[in-house]
Copies of this chain bind each other. A is one copy, B any other.
């Protein structure tokens, strides 16, 4: 890294500078734009940004990085929450956003091949005319490459799984310049070691994804949505478990706590019961089928003490009903203007959900904090939307302590320190507790793929500084 001038010159020689129609930018605006993600409060400014347009651009970047021992961190949309896309200071940020082509749509095999820079919303817009969609929905309009890199999941995972279940094949550029083809177009395989799964969730530390083949699903013929309020969190959890036990697999199954419903009410002038609330979307073969599912769900709610807040059948009505769930973040920003946010994400066994929600409430109280609790409850995945004024160091310290206690609690009940946001920089501290001896094997694998430790160094399996 001491040869800063020489490696960036080599990079420009290999890939051209951006102002001359090439790929490499040293402009301060581009550097600053790649110095932060959407979660961590600190920045790390790269020495150069490569806007790759092809696998060859990626390989040329890795060649220079190898030659000059410069760290390289892949960049998608920058929507990471735990620092996964933060470049090493003075290193290369490898922006894959321009690799946004979509090819080989196979409506019979239910697959499509995309560049790692394709974004989720655009993908689904392009798939809709074919009656197909890609279900994984982490909320943010992330890139598919980034989503694979963090094994993203979200609202629909209860029904369709996350990235690990919906990526059929990958092309991966390794730090040493080799390109791997992992997986196949077959819907299952027992052929060899699961390197595709190893790369998914490795957060750009093992290789750079240059292409992904995705598993698509037919758009449901009919959907209905309902909003259900419960006397307490345990009842809401119980309803979720009972409906799963009946074999009713919703398209989405979301939870929001009472205080947050109140905040959304204030923000949107709604009058929803200020109680723990579930939003459920059900699909059916046709409207009557969806309706019959809804009737069963109503019975489950009644048995567990729930009340129907609303039901929605048309796309517009469903959009309105879900707006309250999707409005949590905006309500938070309106309730606490100027606050910065930090979203903590854990995942626990369904049988530990109630207890974990109680523990979270107690922990917030203990540290004199308030924070919306939002969950992909069908998966046991809970999020706390922590917030405080950016400069309130004492508050941020309390937030750190609270999230720490909650992550350790998740591990103590057999869960994981992150259900879908990834490890990045900030959750490395839990890797030993969660994985024990396996962390050493992960580090060995990192060394195998990247012996010089140049690819997104320090992330996931890195030692804590």
Q: Tell me if B197 and A198 are in contact (CB < 8 A).
A: yes
Q: Tell me if B245 and A186 are in contact (CB < 8 A).
A: no
Contact of A415 among B153, B186, B436, B448 (CB under 8 A): B186
Q: Tell me if B247 and A350 are in contact (CB < 8 A).
A: no
- Asked whether A201 is an interface residue with its Cβ less than 8 Å from the other chain, the reply is yes
Instruction: Give the docked Cα–Cα distance between A247 and B350 (Å).
Output: 27
Measured CB to CB, the nearest residue on chain B to A179 is: B437
Measured CB to CB, the nearest residue on chain B to A417 is: B191
Q: Tell me if B285 and A188 are in contact (CB < 8 A).
A: no
Q: Tell me if B431 and A192 are in contact (CB < 8 A).
A: yes
Chain A residues numbered 121-141 whose CB sits less than 8 Å from any CB in chain B: 131
A289-300 toward B: CB 8 Å interface, digit per residue (1/0)? Answer: 100110010000
Q: How many residues of A contact B (CB 8 A)?
A: 96
A205-227 toward B: CB 8 Å interface, digit per residue (1/0)? Answer: 01000000000011111000000
Q: Tell me if B184 and A414 are in contact (CB < 8 A).
A: yes
Instruction: Give the docked Cα–Cα distance between A259 and B312 (Å).
Output: 51
Instruction: Give the docked Cα–Cα distance between A276 and B189 (Å).
Output: 25
Instruction: Please judge, given known A-B contacts A186-B347, A218-B247, A221-B246, whether A192 and B352 are in contact too, CB under 8 Å.
Output: no
A233-253 toward B: CB 8 Å interface, digit per residue (1/0)? Answer: 000000001001111100000
Q: Tell me if B436 and A180 are in contact (CB < 8 A).
A: yes
Q: Tell me if B198 and A194 are in contact (CB < 8 A).
A: yes
- Asked whether A71 is an interface residue with its Cβ less than 8 Å from the other chain, the reply is no
Could you say which of A47-55, A161-169, A329-337 contacts chain B?
A161-169
Minimum distance in angstroms from A200 CB to a CB of chain B: 7
Q: Which residues of B contact A195 (CB under 8 A)?
A: 198, 438, 441-442
Q: Tell me if A178 and B106 are in contact (CB < 8 A).
A: no
Instruction: Give the docked Cα–Cα distance between A460 and B195 (Å).
Output: 14
Q: Which residues of B contact A181 (CB under 8 A)?
A: 435-438
Measured CB to CB, the nearest residue on chain B to A151 is: B190
Instruction: Give the docked Cα–Cα distance between A417 and B131 (Å).
Output: 31
Q: Which residues of B contact A184 (CB under 8 A)?
A: 414-416, 434
Instruction: Please judge, given known A-B contacts A108-B241, A131-B245, A165-B165, whether A193 and B202 are in contact too, CB under 8 Å.
Output: yes
Q: Which residues of B contact A191 (CB under 8 A)?
A: 416-418, 422-423, 427, 430-431, 434-435
Chain A residues numbered 264-318 whose CB sits less than 8 Å from any CB in chain B: 283, 285, 288-289, 292-293, 296
Q: Which residues of B contact A285 (CB under 8 A)?
A: 246-248, 292-293, 296
Instruction: Give the docked Cα–Cα distance between A240 and B381 (Å).
Output: 34
- Asked whether A344 is an interface residue with its Cβ less than 8 Å from the other chain, the reply is no
Instruction: Please judge, given known A-B contacts A131-B245, A351-B109, whether A188 and B379 are in contact too, CB under 8 Å.
Output: yes
Q: Tell me if A186 and B380 are in contact (CB < 8 A).
A: yes
- Asked whether A157 is an interface residue with its Cβ less than 8 Å from the other chain, the reply is yes
Q: Tell me if B111 and A349 are in contact (CB < 8 A).
A: yes
Q: Which residues of B contact A414 (CB under 8 A)?
A: 184-186
- Asked whether A39 is an interface residue with its Cβ less than 8 Å from the other chain, the reply is no
Q: Tell me if A350 and B187 are in contact (CB < 8 A).
A: yes
Q: Tell me if A350 and B434 are in contact (CB < 8 A).
A: no
Instruction: Please judge, given known A-B contacts A431-B191, A438-B195, whether A351 and B108 are in contact too, CB under 8 Å.
Output: yes
What are 24 A-B pairs at a CB distance below 8 A? A106-B349, A109-B351, A109-B352, A162-B188, A182-B438, A184-B416, A185-B352, A186-B380, A187-B349, A189-B347, A189-B416, A190-B418, A192-B442, A192-B460, A194-B194, A194-B200, A195-B198, A197-B197, A218-B244, A218-B246, A220-B247, A221-B247, A285-B293, A285-B296
Extra 10 A-B pairs, beta carbons < 8 Å, given A186-B349, A192-B442: A106-B351, A151-B188, A179-B437, A186-B415, A189-B416, A191-B422, A192-B434, A247-B285, A285-B293, A441-B449
Query: Which 7 A-B pairs rank lowest in CB-CB distance, beginning with the nearest?
Result: A185-B414, A197-B197, A109-B351, A189-B416, A108-B351, A186-B347, A109-B349
Q: CB within 8 Å of B: which residues of A?
A: 106-111, 131, 150-153, 157, 161-162, 164-165, 178-182, 184-195, 197-198, 200-202, 206, 217-221, 241, 244-248, 283, 285, 288-289, 292-293, 296, 347-352, 379-381, 410, 413-423, 427, 430-431, 434-439, 441-442, 444-446, 448-449, 460-461
